[in-house]
Amino acid sequence: MTTPRIIGVELSGDASLPLLLVGPSLGTSATTLWSAVAAELASDFHVVGWNLPGHDGGPVGEAFTMAELAEGVLAFARGVCEARGDDTIGFAYAGDSVGGAVGLQLALDAPDAVRSVVVLCTGAKIGEESMWRERAATVRASGTPVMVSGSAQRWFTPGFLEREPAVGAALLHVLQGADAEGYAQVCEALAVFDVRDRLGEISVPVLAVAGSYDAATPPEKLEEIADGVPNGRLLLLDDVAHLAPAESPAEVSSAIRALNDATAPSERSQSAQIGDGADPYDRGMAVRRAVLGDAHVDRATARADELTRPFQELITRYAWGEVWGRDVLDRRSRSMITLALLAALGHDGELAMHVRAALRNGLSREEIAEVLIHTGVYAGVPVSNSALSVMQSVFAEHDPES
């Protein structure tokens, strides 16, 4: 057993932004799995992906354990941080399937380096040892092309390959071209991977993202992680199977952004940390940017003149600093309350803005719709009808086909 040498690829952003390291699923590459999410996060993070041994040009060496694979990823991250000129090694992490398992291992072995972890479609133990041993033997005997048909069924929800043929073809192409020995070594590492009894040791924030159609790592696997990690939370994505970053990039990017907004403010907000000691205006500006995004806040402040600037300062100090800046409720809860009130009062312009904010705060589309449907019970059916229309318009902004 030895620590594998890991190589990777820069996906978006630059070294002035916080580092986000992303990991692939077995049979995929960082580029094919994470490019759409990276594009969504280009203004928030320097997104760098790593590749499994034997995948998309990754070198193949000797057999390894999951702990040794995580050591290799940590060494890769150290090199990225040195190239960025960072004083210390530190990064946010997101990974799908085996990439998520590596995230759990990193959180256990390198808590000082890992600031937050988003694990998608994975488990603290994935499958049974015998299954992985058999798959490794099959691939060594017949090559990775033998896995394409079964993976196409496991990876995607029904109809996805017809809706997104280019995305699906790119992912399956990487699988078909993966080195058989590299693929088999990952299978054997997964065969003995089991950190279920160590989840309570993880100190960093963890978001566990499950796909409702995922048969390989069903939602209960992610619920087990969310329940076992002291600072863990579960997010269930509808109409998603095993490759959430490819199937639902907008929701995955929103979830990553929301978790890290709450735990690791961007460099732009470093001078105005959200805390009891900060000036209410500075605290409010930091929260306002985290919830609404820099682009929105920059537009609002740029439009202000001598007559309207006092109002901009008032809402920044009062609404965002004194109210949104309180820590009694988390931002997801405040987003849900705000959506319901704006819908009930018929403030459609503000409602659209806060639907976008809710996505940034980690609410799924289904959760947003549920809030607006629930509001109609108490505020009237026409309220929900109008609010759901506003919601659909906002979601259409995120869907290129629309």
Residues forming a β-bridge with 22: 49, 94
48-57, 275-284, 371-380: segment of lowest average pLDDT: 275-284
The four Cα atoms 256, 261, 266, 272 give a dihedral, to 10 degrees, of 180
Tokens of 34: 């994470």
Beta-strand pair 114-120/91-96? parallel
Residue 218: burial class (beta carbons within 10 Å; 0-12, 13-18, 19+): middle
pLDDT score of 368 more than 70: yes
Sign of the Cα torsion 255, 260, 262, 266 reads: negative
Q: Is 298 left (phi over 0), alpha (psi -120 to 50) or beta?
A: alpha
- Say what the pLDDT of residue 143 is: 96
Buried b or exposed e, range 185-211, using 16+ CB within 10 angstroms = bbbbbbbebebeeebeebebbbbbbbb
pLDDT band at 265 (very low <50, low <70, confident <90, very high): very low
* Mean pLDDT on 88-94: 95
Whether the pLDDT of residue 241 is over 60: the answer is: yes
Residues 6+ apart with CB under 8 A from 83: 15
| Helix/strand/coil for 10 | strand
What pLDDT band is residue 271 in, cutting at 50, 70 and 90?
very low
Q: Taking CA 151 as the corner, what is the angle to CA 362 and CA 35, rounded to the nearest 5 degrees?
A: 45
Q: What is the pLDDT of residue 1?
A: 64
User: Which residue reads 């996060």 in tokens?
Assistant: 41
Who has greater pLDDT, 267 or 392? Answer: 392
Cβ–Cβ < 8 Å for 340, 384: no
CB 256 within 8 A of CB 118: yes
Q: For 296-332, what is each residue's pLDDT tens digit? A: 887 887 787 888 888 888 888 889 988 998 878 888 8
